[in-house]
């Protein structure tokens, strides 16, 4: 399988090719790449933030000085 980095300014048409010994290994690579994505990490942050807030009654991001506006935006995309 291959991964294209279309849209990146530095290398607009860069493509990485991967070879695997099996379909299972290919799927493992694809899942690992998905878990490393920004969107996956963002969804995890939103999920765990909400879970902590339910358990403690406090927003865990508040201690880091994240503004109300940023907290609102963080929770609006699902």
pLDDT of residue 52: 92
Provide block-wise average pLDDT over 10 residues at a time, the chain (78 residues): 69 79 92 86 88 90 70 52
**Encoded tokens for 32:** 């690992």
- CA distances from residue 43 to 9, 17, 23, 48, 58 in whole angstroms, order as listed: 26, 27, 27, 9, 19
pLDDT of residue 77: 47
pLDDT of residue 14: 77
Q: How far apart are alpha carbons 24 and 64 in whole angstroms?
A: 41
pLDDT of residue 12: 65
């Amino acid at each position: 399988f291959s991964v294209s980095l279309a849209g990146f300014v530095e290398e607009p048409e860069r493509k990485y090719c991967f070879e695997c010994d099996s379909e299972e290994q290919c799927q493992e690579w694809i899942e690992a790449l998905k878990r490393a994505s920004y969107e996956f990490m963002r969804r995890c942050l939103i999920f765990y933030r909400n879970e902590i807030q339910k358990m403690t009654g406090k927003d865990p991001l508040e201690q880091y000085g994240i503004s109300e506006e940023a907290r609102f935006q963080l929770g609006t995309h699902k």
